[in-house]
Amino acid sequence: MFDALGFHKVASGLGRFGLKRSAKVVSRVARVLFSAHIPPEAQIGEGTRLGYGGIGIVVHKDAVIGRNVLLSPGVVVGGRAPLKGAPIIEDDVKIGVGAKILGPIRIGAGARVGANAVVIDDVLPGDTVVGIPARPVVRRSGKLSAA
C-alpha cells in the first residue's frame, strides 16, 4: 500500500539526487491525496508507520523522527514561534490521534503521547504524557503521577 510515507520516501530520494522540483511535486501529490504535509527534507526512520495512511499529518521540514514510530491521523510535528527548531522524536514512540508536538523538543525513546495532547516540553524515555499542555501520567518506573 502506498501511503503518505511512501510518497515522502520517493520525494526524499528525488531531493537527494538534486531533483528538488520533482520532489516538491511528489510531496504535493501526497498533500492532495492524504491531506498530509511531509516535506522531503524531514528525516523519518525505518519502520515508522502512519495511521490510516497519514491522513491529516503535518511534519516540520527540520523534524527528525526515529525508527518504529507510530504517527496517528491528525498529528502535527511542528515549530513553535518565536522558538527556532523542530521536534526530535526518538525510536519506538507512539503518538495518539490529533496530538501536537511543537517546538525544539525531544520525545524520548519508547514514550507514549495521548490523543489530542499538546507537547511543548521534552518527554523522558518511556513516559506517557496527556493533556494540554501535556504532563506525564506514567513515568519510566511505571508509577502513576498526577496529570
- Residue 104 and residue 84: Cα distance in Å, rounded? 7
* Mean pLDDT confidence for 13-30: 86
Q: What percent of the chain has pLDDT over 70?
A: 95
- Residue 138's alpha-carbon distances to 7, 27, 63, 111, in angstroms, are 35, 37, 25, 10
| pLDDT, tens only, 39-59 | 989 999 999 999 888 899 999
Q: What is the pTM of this model?
A: 0.86
All structural domains of the chain, each given as residue ranges with its CATH number in brackets, are 4-138 (2.160.10.10)
Q: What are phi and psi of 119, to 5 degrees?
A: -100, 120
Mean pLDDT of the chain: 90
- Whether residue 105 has pLDDT greater than 90: yes
By mean pLDDT, which of 18-22, 58-62, 68-72, 91-95 is the weakest? 18-22
For residue 1, the one-letter residue type is M
d(CA 89, CA 147): 22
